[in-house]
């Protein structure tokens, strides 16, 4: 069976051998979603902020990205929570992942989530609007004025479509398109 390659980094804490071993053990739970022909990787970021132990885990399963985060008072519990979230995400979205990426991940195993199929959310509204050229600061202001968590705009400097979004930490992010 294939094994997920794991890279671990830390901020405001030392990555001990015990912590590294625990992360490897928990991530290995996800190996069951792979067969011998698939590759996968996991990036694990462990950090402590204001006494809160945060584990962010991003897993790339043959091109399908899954992300889980755990925030608790104990790093081991945070790791458990993050990995459990990834496993739930895969089980929840496995039918959509299979339909969309079937040929790419046809070999991936998809264990049933207690034998039930979950109804897929559907698109219930479509919006069309002109992309006005503006700079990033104006896009952030527009997003705030509209009360949205993201805003799509045409970058006045590059002419490319970009997205600004509000991050969980209260800061902003920028997604720039490449063609």
> What is the tens place of the pLDDT at every residue in 66-118?
888 999 999 999 999 999 988 888 777 666 655 655 544 444 444 444 444 55
What pLDDT, on a 0 to 100 scale, did the predictor assign at position 38? 64
* Alpha-carbon span 48 to 84, nearest angstrom: 20
Percent of the chain with pLDDT over 70: 79
Range list for CATH 3.30.505.50 in the chain = 133-176
Q: Which two tokens stand for residue 54?
A: 């945060």
Task: Give the DSSP letter of residue 36.
Answer: T
Phi, psi of 160 (to 5 degrees): -90, 160
The partner residues of 33 in beta bridges, in order of sequence, read: none
Q: Which CATH number fits domain 5-105: 2.60.40.650, 3.40.50.720, 3.30.160.100, 2.60.120.10?
A: 3.30.160.100
| Positive or negative: CA dihedral 163, 166, 168, 170 | positive
Range list for CATH 3.30.160.100 in the chain = 5-105
What pLDDT, on a 0 to 100 scale, did the predictor assign at position 88? 85
pTM of the model: 0.57
- Are residues 164 and 140 in contact, defined by beta-carbon separation less than 8 angstroms? yes
* Alpha-carbon span 40 to 30, nearest angstrom: 10
75-105 and 17-27 helices, crossing angle to 10°: 40
133-176: CATH number: 3.30.505.50
What pLDDT, on a 0 to 100 scale, did the predictor assign at position 109? 47
Helix locations, the chain, DSSP H: 17-27, 75-105, 136-146
């Amino acid at each position: 069976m294939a094994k997920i390659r794991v890279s671990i980094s830390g901020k405001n804490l030392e990555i001990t051998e015990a912590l590294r071993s625990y992360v490897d053990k928990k991530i290995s739970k996800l190996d069951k979603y792979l067969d011998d022909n698939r590759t996968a990787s996991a990036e694990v970021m462990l950090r402590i902020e204001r006494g809160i132990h945060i584990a962010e885990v991003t897993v790339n399963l043959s091109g399908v990205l899954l992300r889980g985060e755990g925030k608790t008072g104990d790093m081991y519990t945070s790791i458990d929570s993050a990995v459990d979230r990834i496993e739930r995400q895969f089980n929840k979205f496995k039918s959509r992942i299979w339909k969309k990426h079937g040929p790419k991940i046809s070999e991936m195993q998809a264990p049933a989530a207690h034998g039930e199929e979950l109804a897929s959310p559907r698109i219930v509204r479509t919006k069309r609007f002109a992309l006005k050229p503006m700079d990033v600061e104006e896009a952030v202001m527009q997003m705030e004025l509209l009360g949205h968590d993201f805003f799509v705009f045409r970058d006045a400097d590059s002419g490319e479509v970009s997205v600004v979004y509000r991050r969980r930490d209260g800061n902003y992010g920028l997604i720039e398109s490449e063609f």
